[in-house]
Amino acid sequence: MADHGKGRPPRVGDNKVFRRVLLTVVLLLVALMIVAPLVVIAVEAFSRGIGYFAKSIADPDTRHAILLTVVTALIAVPFNTAFGVAAAWAITKHDFPGKRLLTVVIEIPFSVSPIVAGVSYLFVYGLQGLFGHALQAADIKILFALPGIVLASMFVTGPFVARELIPLMQAQGRDLEEAATSLGASGWRTFFSVTLPNIKWALLYGVVLCNSRVMGEFGAVSVVSGNIRGQTNTLPLHIELLYHDYNAAGAFAAASILACLAIVTLVAKVALERRGAGRVQRPSALAGADSITPEVKP
């Protein structure tokens, strides 16, 4: 009130009633959209007791779905991490024709429906697709097998790491890398001593988001996997299958694994944000550049 008396205009939300109403609405939406579904999953998963929950998780098809999901993540996430780092390095540290086009292409998976991405793989690697006959002649199976699931997962999660790194590396500029190069450091030495220490938290942040999306991907994988029980069903697909089989308790038991993954991802996300993910850290960068100077020969 004193600020208003000095001629300062009131800020949006200064009114106590407005603040309380806004907070109430936000908390209500969080409770309905986030907390309530998680509570329902936990309750329904143990609705038939701990014994049935353990039996559902130990089911061979469920264990295979979990294993397939983990294997897919172990393959797709490192590839997307390497791609994201390479793409961010190329876009932010070099000038070349088509740079803007590359930036746009990286964002395409965010604009395309996962179902559409899965169907496009059918027209490329399917029996009637572009490479279908050649793959069949070479006895190489892409679709309805692990390679197709990995490719679809890589497509939908491709931009996550790059999208976290590009803004940060653009803000950091090229000065430190150019200084390291002028001191005689090789490209790899510059990357590991100067660039990587500055992007490590943003990189981990992108990896966490990428891993979470790979494990929870449904649309694209449902098209290319064939939904073969116990063979090509990832955990999200297996949950749908259990639900359609009227095994709600088993479906919620399997869903609780993904819910736990979501909570772990959220905790990791908050922890990385507190450690400085996505922030420009010029002092550490300068320290990294200094660390290479003793190896420079006169």
Q: What CATH number is associated with residue 240?
A: 1.10.3720.10
Residues 172 and 63 in one domain: yes
Tokens representing 173 are 């500029």
Q: What is the mean pLDDT of the chain?
A: 84
Total domains in the chain come to: 2
Domain extent, residue 11, equals 1-45
CA distance 12 to 113: 37
| Chain-centre distance for alpha carbon 24 | 31
Residues 36 and 84 in one domain: no
At 270, the amino acid letter reads V
Model pLDDT, residue 294: 42
Band (pLDDT 50/70/90 cuts) for residue 289 is: very low
Instruction: Tell whether the model's pLDDT for residue 210 goes beyond 50.
Output: yes
Q: What number of CA atoms fall less than 13 Å from residue 110's CA on the CB side?
A: 11
Q: What confidence tens digit (pLDDT) does each residue in 39-78 have?
A: 888 888 888 889 888 998 999 999 999 999 999 999 999 9
Residues 6 and 91 in one domain: no
Average confidence (pLDDT) over 141-159? 92
More confident call, 230 vs 284: 230
Average confidence (pLDDT) over 174-199? 84
Residues 13 and 140 in one domain: no
Final residue belonging to a domain, choices 45, 62, 78:
45
Average confidence (pLDDT) over 26-50? 89
Residues 179 and 260 in one domain: yes
Residues 64 and 142 in one domain: yes
Residue where the block lists tokens 């960068």? 285
Residues 41 and 57 in one domain: no
- Map residue 156 onto helix, strand or coil: helix
Residues 10 and 81 in one domain: no
Residues 30 and 57 in one domain: no
* % the chain with pLDDT above 70: 88
Residues 169 and 33 in one domain: no
Residues 57 and 40 in one domain: no
Instruction: Tell whether the model's pLDDT for residue 237 goes beyond 90.
Output: yes
Model pLDDT, residue 28: 94
Band (pLDDT 50/70/90 cuts) for residue 284 is: very low
Model pLDDT, residue 291: 45
CA distance 219 to 213: 11
Instruction: Tell whether the model's pLDDT for residue 204 goes beyond 80.
Output: yes
CA distance 133 to 125: 9
Contact 224, 127 (CB under 8 A): no
Q: What confidence tens digit (pLDDT) does each residue in 247-275 have?
A: 888 899 999 988 888 888 888 878 877 77
Residues 134 and 91 in one domain: yes
More confident call, 132 vs 5: 132
